Amino acid sequence: MTKTRATAIGFGAVLLWSLLALFTVGSSPTPPLLLNTICFSIGGTLGLIWAWSNGGLRQLVDVPWTTYLFGTVGLFGYHALYFSALRMAPAAEAGLIAYLWPLLIVLFSGLLPGEQLRVGHLIGACLGFAGAAVIIAGGGGAGFQFDHLPGYALALLCALTWSSYSVLSRRLGDTPTSSVAIFCIAAAIASGVMHFAVEDTVWPDSAFGWASVIALGLGPVGLAFYVWDIGVKQGDIQVLGTASYAAPLLSTLALVLAGIAVPSGGLAIAALLITGGAAIAARASMER
């Protein structure tokens, strides 16, 4: 597979993730860990079927347990934090903060061997975090609300978790993409155990709710992992970070078009700051 093709495949994950917030809202009132369990079960099953069909199951035996642990923690941690954030704060605002990860990928990739941080990286970071500050200050339209701060904090942890996972995955270049299926199954088991320990079981209460959960498992919490894994391991990770800055705008637009988020000047400013910050940081990387 060429580097260009792998990068294009990886961008497919960005398009799928732009629907993550929309389907997460639609899955309410299912609690986060139960939602994790269902979605990862679907995504992991799809991955195992794919690995079996192309003979990839044999490769899984040679994968180190530390790699499985790393992948499981990354997938489980990000989505548990993300689902919790969108249950505790407005979807559009929390989603924008979580979508600081494209900017952070570009920043963190500057720390990889052969790369370096530039002035553009720092300017981009300042703009991105200014966008997050606009949201926290109430720029999304509802005004400052202390009750939303825990949700915003979880959303920021989401961004840190996924960007770190993506950049560190670069160091696992020899690990087969089929191993992501095991990450998903292990994450589903961990989520299920924790769900029964700390959450009340609440299933989706409508056909739309079930459709949202299934769509999550098939796309943003399923296929997206496999194509992203191909992209970050075999493609250009900084170009992927560049392309990913479209994610916050696409995600916010999907919520507005669905009538879940109310368009406002503050929300638009925050989205542009976060997106623009990632673009400037990515440009600095491409000028190396």
Average pLDDT, the chain: 85
Query: Quick check: 138 pLDDT over 70?
Result: no
pLDDT exceeds cutoff 90 at 265: no
pLDDT on residue 283: 76
Please say if the pLDDT value at position 162 is more than 80: yes
List C-alpha distances in Å: 159 to 60, 70, 164, 195. 29, 17, 8, 23
pLDDT of residue 173: 60
Q: Which residue has the higher pLDDT, 104 or 188?
A: 188
Whether pLDDT at 108 is above 90: no
- Phi, psi angles (nearest 5°) of residue 203: -85, 160
Q: Are 67 and 175 in contact (CB under 8 A)?
A: yes
Percent of the chain, pLDDT > 90? 34
Give which of 37, 40, 56, 39 is closest to 48, Cα–Cα. 56
CA 277 to each of CA 132, 246, 272: distance values in angstroms, whole numbers, following the listed order: 11, 11, 8
244: its two tokens: 């990913």
Task: Kindly indicate the confidence band of residue 275, based on its pLDDT and cuts at 50, 70 and 90.
Answer: confident
The first and second tokens of residue 144, run together, are: 């400052």
Structural domain spans, the chain? 3-286
The answer to whether the peptide bond before residue 263 is cis (omega within 30 degrees of 0) is no
Q: Which residues contact 3 (CB under 8 A, 6 or more apart)?
A: 234, 235, 236
Read off the pLDDT band of 218 (50, 70, 90).
very high
Minimal CA–CA distance to 282: which of 104, 17, 16, 18?
A: 104
Compute φ and ψ for 242, nearest 5 degrees.
-65, -50
Residue 120: band (very low, low, confident or very high) from pLDDT cuts 50, 70, 90: confident
